[in-house]
Chain A
Amino acid sequence: MTELDEGTSIDLGSAPQAPERPPRLTAWGYVRYSWRQLTSMRTALVLLFLVALAAVPGSLLPQHNTNPIRVRDYFIAHPRLAPIFDRRSVSLFDVYSSWWFSATYLLLFISLAGCVIPRAAKHYTAMRARPPAAPRRLERLPESAVLETSLAVDEAAQALRDAVRRTRFRVDLVPELDGAVTVRAEKGFLRETGNLVFHLALLVLLLGVAVGGLFGYKGTVLVVEGDSFVNAAGNYDDFMPGHRFRDSALAPFTLTLEHFAAQYYDSGDKAGTAKRFDATLRWSPRPGAPTRSYDLQVNHPLVMGQTKVYLLGDGYAPEFTVRDDTGKVAFQGPVPFLPQDSQLSSTGVVKVPGAQPQQLGLDALFTPTTRLLQGGVAVSTFPAALAPAVSVVAYRGNLGLESGVPQSVYRLDTSRMTKADRFVLAPGQTHQIGAGKASVTFDGYRMWTNLQVTYDPGKDLALAAAAAMVLGLLLSLRVRRRRVWVRARPAGAGRTVVEMGGLARTDESGFRHEFADLVSRARSVLPAVPTGAAAPTDREE
């Protein structure tokens, strides 16, 4: 910090200082020395570098929280390296929550706090200080000029003070011992104010991020058309609470997905890409409250205070009725299928553990716009359901559900089953499996959506801090600091000599013009000495 106290244009002590030696004696001295080092500008610079550097590996290696599938691929491709990267001490697949990344930015922010908070206090005093006394010889300043006027010293000084003040300087009028009167003027305090606002806002931003990360949560849930969701941790497919999350943070809302519609471009380059999605929700903020309707779209989350519901994804859930060999309905309902490609060919399985005498399993492909290739293979040629069909492979045998090992609902373990049949169904069609009474009916389909619910109590704070950062930056980088002095001195014979001088404390470019403007303003408020008297002398450097 100390290196910065003077403006660049009159920077005298900019030679690199030799690092101070730690005082030998006390532990306290050592602490103070370390603190000074940590909060120095040079340390800040080094820490900035380190943070930038530490952020790099996370962008090159797949990360658990953003791309778990590619992390798994990485494990397969690099079986030796991946486990080393994955160790807690290395954490290369969790860079942004790793100890070393956190340590770097925490150090940066401690350094920032230690540097900016004392500076803010100092600035507060400086803000209220009056402009400094004039140097004795104004003509030695980077910009200077001399004028003459017929006004008396006091009147001239007052006129000059008003002229200078009009260009937004803070001014003082100070009589001097030798009968001269000096106008001291300074401007550009907002530069430092802006700088401090920016750096303090940076600290507040981090606070906002931390609050959100600690007390918030994020969860995703798949909801089929017609189904409802009640906000409770156990109802999510995937639930990620912060370290300090409490169940009381869960807003007690319920929602029902009434309808979902996707629209696609049907011609041109982008044929088949999505144009818009609309999920019609009926929701209620708490049990017993009246329900409301909401059209949930990408970019238009449902907002309930700090809790927001987002539309993340969608897919098809074909509906089946499965009868077993006794002729009884053993399964009925929609089954969410997972999209496999951009035309939304989707795969899924139906497990019918209650079928008698043998369990049944279906491995199926849903094609929204179906084209049958030779050999009865179905493919989808468009993502909208223009000609839906399911291609089913039916199995009989043991689903293996009792083994105790949790199974994926999207995969069929066929190791203890035998393939019984394969067939393609259009909506409404039924197919008999083999010779028995067992059959599969493709009743139609519903849509499902993947909803994400986030609760982030730090978000507003972070946003306000971000806005303050931009404002602070604009001030800090645009406002310029200037000092100007004007001295009116009696020169006998009813004349007053006016000396002006000024310097730029930051960004001297353009100061010459500003100063020239000040001089011409001064000239316009001072009546010239009548001709015949001594010739006015203008000296401008």
Chain B
Amino acid sequence: MAVDLGLATLSDNLFGAALLAYAPAALGFAVEAAFGPRTATASVEAAVEAQSRQLVGAGGPPLAAGPVEPRPTARSTWDRVARVSVGLTILGFLLHAGSILSRGLAAGRIPWGNMTEFISATCLAVVGAYLWLLWREKARFLGAFVLAPVLLSMGLAGTVLYTSVGPVQAVLSTYWLPIHVTAAVVATGIFVLGSTAAMLHLMSLHYEVLVAQGKRVGFSGLARKLPPAETLDRLAQRAIGLGFPIWTFAVIAGAIWAESAWGRYWGWDPKETWAFITWVAYAAYLHARSTAGWRGKAASWIAVAALVCLIFNFFGVNLVITGKHSYAGV
């Protein structure tokens, strides 16, 4: 099938436009997080802070905050900044989706067949998962933390790792490719979000402990604007609990594909190995969540370690190690 160059150019332009929307959105979220006044969640959190101080004064234990339902607040300038950022994120998401769609139409196939496309699609999944959480859980505070790595990855995908639109090799053209890779992309997006929440949970926890002990907050003051640790913890579990079956399915679909292409469903190829390691790491997180003594801090550290495995599988294995999967082309 011939490549439609007009659509290919459109795809590249939309990709750039999406970046141009994400960048100020990320900036807006970051500035609002750093300098803005406390919003709904933060004001509850301020109460926690004040209460913890009293408890410390009274020799009580540090307070564990209950789940918080953010309430609508009066619109301040900062709130407007955040709202514009959300708007830009949605705009960027649509442009980004358009870029992927036109790439698929240009090449006449599912648009995730090489590293550039895989990164782009995964970033779309991350932003999509963020918008989902924004809608379901009012998790706007995640904005800067989610968009920053998205911008970085998309920047890399559009430059160093760029591959122009083209067809895929014979071995890649089967319907298991879209099934396997789509599941992997979606699960990756959800996992990134879940582990980010776990990371913020650790920050928030650290911050709460420092505040409760009346110590200087310093760098972890970044967590001041975050919701209480428990909310973040719950968010992380929800996301990872959603991502895990999808990842499991992705690995199985990959095995089915490998069986039809290479004559074995599992061969400990580096990509397979790291998909397995990532899977075990997230399973360990889910177990830690229900093991006494591991809930909370230890579990969240496992989620962070699992994210490291996920990222290594994504970049490291394709670029550093040679295996069967490397012929997907960088």
Contact = CB atoms under 8 A, between A and B. Distances in A.
Interface of A: 3-4, 8, 13-17, 41-42, 44-45, 48-49, 51-52, 55-56, 58-60, 63, 65-66, 70, 95-96, 209, 218, 265, 268-270, 273-277, 297-301, 308, 310, 312, 452, 454, 459, 462-463, 466-467, 469-470, 473-474, 477, 507, 509
Interface string B221-262: 000000000000010001001101100110010011001111
A466 B252 contact: yes
B9 to A, nearest CB: 15
B280 interface: yes
Contact of B281 (A8, A52, A308, A474): A52
B273 A473 contact: no
A477 B270 contact: no
8 contacts: A14-B295, A60-B321, A66-B323, A265-B167, A270-B169, A277-B170, A299-B173, A299-B261
Nearest to A108: B280
Interface stretch (B31-39, B151-159, B184-192, B282-290): B282-290
A277 B281 CA distance: 39
Given A16-B293, A466-B255, A477-B241, A268 B248 contact: no
Q: Which has the most chain B C-beta neighbours within 10 Å: A218, A270, A452, A474?
A: A270
B242 A477 contact: yes
A114 B244 CA distance: 24
B164 A269 contact: yes
Given A274-B170, A298-B171, A473 B244 contact: yes
A512 to B, nearest CB: 9
Given A45-B287, A270-B167, A470 B268 contact: no
B77 interface: no
A303 B291 CA distance: 46
A268 B3 contact: yes
B276 interface: yes
Nearest to A51: B280
B169 A312 contact: no
A59 B3 CA distance: 36
Contacts of A4: 290
Given A45-B291, A276-B170, A509-B67, A66 B269 contact: yes
A116 to B, nearest CB: 13
A69 B153 CA distance: 34
Contact of A469 (B248, B264, B274, B323): B248
A45 B288 contact: yes
Given A52-B280, A274-B169, A301-B260, A8 B67 contact: no
Contacts, number: 130
B78 interface: no
A509 B234 contact: yes
A474 B245 contact: yes
Contacts of B295: 14
A299 B269 contact: no
B261 A270 contact: no
B274 to A, nearest CB: 6
A41 B244 CA distance: 19
Contacts of B264: 218, 454
Interface string B292-330: 111100000000000001000000010001110000000
Contacts of B277: 52, 55-56, 59
Given A42-B293, A95-B268, A275-B170, 12 more contacts: A3-B291, A8-B290, A14-B295, A45-B291, A274-B169, A297-B170, A301-B263, A459-B265, A466-B252, A469-B248, A473-B245, A477-B244
A298 B264 CA distance: 13
A473 B170 contact: no
Given A66-B267, A300-B260, A470-B248, A42 B291 contact: yes
B175 to A, nearest CB: 9
A15 B295 CA distance: 11
A313 to B, nearest CB: 11
B163 to A, nearest CB: 8
A70 B147 CA distance: 40
A273 to B, nearest CB: 5
Contact of A48 (B169, B268, B270, B287): B287
B266 interface: yes
A102 B30 CA distance: 48
Contacts of B290: 3-4, 8, 41
